[in-house]
Amino acid sequence: MKTPPSEKYRSNGGLFADLLEWLDARLPLTAFWRNHFSEYRVPKNLNFWYFFGSLGLIVLSMQILTGIFLAMHYQPSAAPNADGLPAAFASVEYLMRDVNWGWLIRTTHSTGASAFFLVVYLHIFRCLLYGSYRKPRELLWIVGVLIFYLLMAEAFTGYVLPWGQMSFWAAQVITDLASAVPFFGNSLADWVRGDFSVGGATLGRFFALHVIALPLALILLIVLHLLALREVGSSHPDALSIHDPVETGEIGSIPFHPYYTVRELHAASVFFLVFFAVVFFAPEGGGTLLESENFLPADPLKTPEYIEPVWYFTPFYSMLRAMTRPLFGIDPKLLGVVSMNGAVAILFFLPWLDRSPVKSIRHRGAVFKLMLFLFVLAFLTLGFLGTKPPEHIVWGTIPGTSAAQTATFFYFFFFLSMPWWSKIVPQAPKTRNLRFK
């Protein structure tokens, strides 16, 4: 945004003020500060659910900082060292045992990955609660879903790097997803792995993606996400828009700085309190954050007895596993891959699937609340089942596979039937002025 020269910073004669004036004449410093902080207007009624965007940024910064230091010691090689251990595995052991504070940097990074997903899932849930994805924020939402995709790729490539048993077999299963593609699937899988099975070539490319390509792309998309947010403004729990001329004034807005910067800092300190309690006292999270099998070096000839992804992938993993028989002539393997990808891809269409005349859960009524509750229940059920072996029986009565199939069905039903049930809202007089425009 162009700022007239008169709005440039004027020095009052001090040394630093002179320096700032010199800089501001050559860079849009104060304009940037005004546009993005001191004069960026934010609704004044944002609640708890609105913390998770900025928390995501904080976790990202933490991951980048710890990641840089990890990369200084880590060796992306599957070749055996003098002790017969894969070099990558040995370098992570070395980091944990011999590098000063290496254990802290590493567990902060590994716990940070879980925290990132927790924060992002809550951030997405906020959008569902308050209709944040709806016009004019469709593009903001789409960029957000792209960020979610990249984040999953980033987490997965990072998970493979320690080259333990779970790393190896996760890489095996996930690169094998490519082989589900009809006709040239097997050559595609070899191309993805860079070898006829997962090995050093795979590890090398995952390292390059994890530390260079994906973080760069992530940062680019996050900048786009923030730019789009500055354009359309933040949503809020009453689901009006501060930029909508008809509705301006119904909800007051306040500058982002100092009001929200202080609030976000407070949220960040609470977050860090919980986060570092986990890092210091339960970095393995009882096998949820770091799995015990992954403390064994990768063995290409022996699959671990219980293979399960980290908790944040288990809902999608359950869907992959739930497809046990052909449907519409598609074989179960391809069907699993399609459902797993479709579960995320369907989010892109959410702004157009939702036909409700109001945005926020506060005005949407019982049907929405029930559907959202069941959706969350289905998602959590899938997540829980993904941590269990396929033959698990829920409460001793319901076979795990049937439960996962039902939950997968509901997951898709929630979105695909949304154009119909989302129209049902109470006709109370108070919703009249809040109608979605």
Partner 1 sequence: MKTNRKTHRETDSRRRSLLVAVAITGGSGMAAAAFPFLSSLAPSARAKLSAAPVEVDIGDLLPGQMKIVEWRARPVWILNRTAEMLASLTEVSGRVFDPESKQKQQPENCENATRSIRPNLLVVLGVCTHFGCSPVPRFERGDGEKMPADWPGGFACQCHGATFDFSGRAFKNTLAARNLEVPPHRYLSENRLLVGENAKNIQGAKE
- If DSSP codes are grouped into helix, strand and coil, which group holds residue 393? strand
Please identify, among the stretches 47-55, 210-218, 264-272, 323-331, the one whose residues bind partner 1 according to the rule CB under 8 A: 323-331
Minimum CB–partner distance for residue 134 and partner 1 (Å): 37
Q: How many CA atoms lie within 13 A of 187 on its CB side?
A: 3
| Contact flag: residue 243 with partner 1 (CB under 8 A) | no
Number of Cβ within 10 Å of residue 302's Cβ equals 11
- Candidate list 177, 267, 343, 371; residue touching partner 1; CB under 8 A: 177
Minimum CB–partner distance for residue 300 and partner 1 (Å): 5
| Contact flag: residue 398 with partner 1 (CB under 8 A) | no
Please identify, among the stretches 108-116, 134-142, 217-225, 318-326, the one whose residues bind partner 1 according to the rule CB under 8 A: 318-326
- Candidate list 11, 197, 261, 341; residue touching partner 1; CB under 8 A: 197
Are 354 and 422 in contact by the 8 Å Cβ rule? The answer is yes
Q: Give the whole-angstrom CA distance, residue 92 versus residue 181.
A: 34
- Candidate list 47, 186, 417, 433; residue touching partner 1; CB under 8 A: 186
- Candidate list 22, 32, 184, 191; residue touching partner 1; CB under 8 A: 191
Please identify, among the stretches 20-28, 34-42, 89-97, 386-394, the one whose residues bind partner 1 according to the rule CB under 8 A: 386-394
Give 197 or 292: the residue with its C-beta nearer to partner 1. 197
Burial string for 98-110 (b: 16+ CB within 10 Å, else e) reads ebeebebbbbbbb
Minimum CB–partner distance for residue 149 and partner 1 (Å): 20
Are 163 and 294 in contact by the 8 Å Cβ rule? The answer is no
| Contact flag: residue 213 with partner 1 (CB under 8 A) | no
Task: Find the binding residues for partner 1 in span 247-306 (CB under 8 A).
Answer: 300-303, 305-306
Minimum CB–partner distance for residue 180 and partner 1 (Å): 8
What DSSP element (H or E) covers 201? helix 200-208
Q: Judging by beta carbons within 10 Å of its beta carbon (0-12, 13-18, 19+), is residue 329 exposed, middle or buried?
A: exposed
| Contact flag: residue 394 with partner 1 (CB under 8 A) | no
| Contact flag: residue 338 with partner 1 (CB under 8 A) | no
Cis peptide preceding 86, ω within 30 of 0: no
Are 112 and 62 in contact by the 8 Å Cβ rule? The answer is yes
Q: Identify the sign of the CA torsion 413, 414, 420, 425.
A: positive
Contact residues for partner 1 (CB under 8 A)?
Answer: 169, 172-173, 175-177, 179, 186, 190-199, 201, 205, 300-303, 305-307, 320-321, 323-326, 331-333, 336, 389-391, 401
